Amino acid sequence: MSETNTTAELHYSPFSRAVFDDPYPVYRRLRDEAPVYRDPEDRWWVLSRYADIAAALRDWQTFSSRLGPAPENPDDNGRKYSIISMDPPKHDRIRSVLKGFFTPKAVAAMDATLRRVVTTHLDRLEPGTTFDAMTAFAFSIPTDVIGDLLGVPERDREQLRVWWEAFLTREESSVTMPPEAIAANREISSYIGDLIEQRRTSPGDDLISIVLGAGYDDPDLGRCELTPHEVLMFCNLLSAAGSETTQKLISNGLVALSEHPDQWNRIVADPSLIPAAVNEALRYDTPSHWVARTLTRPVELHGVTMAAGDWVLLLLGSANRDERRYVDPDRFVLDRSGGADVYFGWGIHICLGQWLARREAALVFEYLAARHPRFTIGARERTLTATVRGYTSVEMTLG
């Protein structure tokens, strides 16, 4: 009997509100009962086990990114999503434009600036008060960090964040992008395009100016500059990736730590555990829950053959809770052994800004552990979004 045979009750859709709110029981069933799951409407396959997803992320020749990371809005070799919708060699050439900018060493050099942003927002918090952590700091810290790097004026940063949230928001059970998302995408491109034009005439030391002035070596054409469209898409991607994932990491991590007070108390007693806490927050409640690929050739897995040209969803959120990879995966535990994890993807498409996101989250956890170790979390809400999963409001009280 094929491992994809399922009972009538097993149903997975990335656009289901019920699944989005609590995906982990469905993920477990997928891993156990249907590790190669076929969408009931034959739109895509779904892989849910760690080993299968890790192998797919490494094999870009077979699991291509050329059509983009999401089937509801297909791309064509980076026209919409820049490097996350490209395969080598084009991917490698354009990504190399910022080679070295987001390395651990480069992020360490930014530490004083990052700490200043975090402290500015968190110093406003008063003991004994209750507030929405998202509006108080979890939105604004990442938005200010990437805003500073891109040279986005402070007055415009919140509007840019709101547009990105609208772009990612989806409607229950609908694969089609809602009109609000399409309109937000136009606003983002128009705004970033205006910034790019300003930097053409008045360049600075920001990322937009760096991208504009950079080039890459093509073995056939020699030294090349990015086209105007490539510049726009790359800067669009940086503006989103620099804030969205980090917002989710901070809020998901704080909620998880509040639900595991024994682990939080260990951090308060020993702040050297904070990097481990960031890693575990990424694993336990992964900000990016899935990415999509398209097959360049037939692939047989668990007795099932997926055809060339088929879409395949890789459930990162499921891989990071796979009991075949992790002991007691549904608990937040700081002492997990090292190894290759897929919370930021893996292989050539691993998140460019992962070390920046880690450091921002670490500084937030560090500040709270030192200043407000008895915080509590109350009501929280999520908005159904594509690929990423996190909160739009989190009630927080400082003890």
Q: Is 201 exposed, middle or buried (0-12, 13-18, 19+ CB in 10 A)?
A: exposed
What confidence category does residue 4 fall into, taking pLDDT thresholds of 50, 70 and 90? very low
Residue with the larger pLDDT of the pair 17 and 2: 17
In the CATH hierarchy, which fold is given to the domain comprising 57-310+339-397? Cytochrome p450 (1.10.630)
Which two tokens mark 104?
């651990």
Task: Write down the pLDDT at residue 72.
Answer: 84
Instruction: Identify the three-state secondary structure at position 138.
Output: helix
DSSP string, 305-355: EEPTT-EEEE-HHHHTT-TTTSSSTTS--S--------BTB-GGGS-TTHH
CA 160 to CA 242: how far, in whole Å?
12
Question: DSSP letter string over 48-111?
Answer: -SHHHHHHHHH-TTTEE-TT-S-TTS--STTTTTGGGG--TTHHHHHHGGGTTTTSHHHHHHTH
Greatest mean pLDDT among 2-16, 86-100, 259-273:
259-273
Report DSSP letters for 193-217, one per residue: HHHHHHHHHS--SSHHHHHHH-EEE
pLDDT for 339 equals: 74
The 10s digit of each residue's pLDDT in 126-161 is 999 999 999 999 999 999 999 999 999 999 999 999
| 1 has a pLDDT exceeding 60 | no
Q: Mind listing the pLDDT tens digit for each residue in 204-262?
A: 999 999 999 888 888 878 888 899 999 999 999 999 988 899 999 999 999 999 999 99
Contact 148, 242 (CB under 8 A): no
pLDDT digits 0-9 by tens, 335-394? 887 778 999 989 999 999 999 999 999 999 999 999 999 999 999 999 999 889 999 999
Domain boundaries, the chain: 57-310+339-397
User: Strand order in 36-38's β-sheet?
Assistant: 36-38, 45-47, 311-314, 291-295, 63-64
* Helix then strand then coil, % of the chain, to nearest 5: 50, 15, 40
pLDDT at position 3 is: 45
Check: CB of residue 80 under 8 Å from CB of residue 72.
no
pLDDT of residue 8: 54
Specify the pTM.
Answer: 0.93
Mean pLDDT of the chain: 93
The yes-or-no verdict on residue 99 having pLDDT over 90 is no
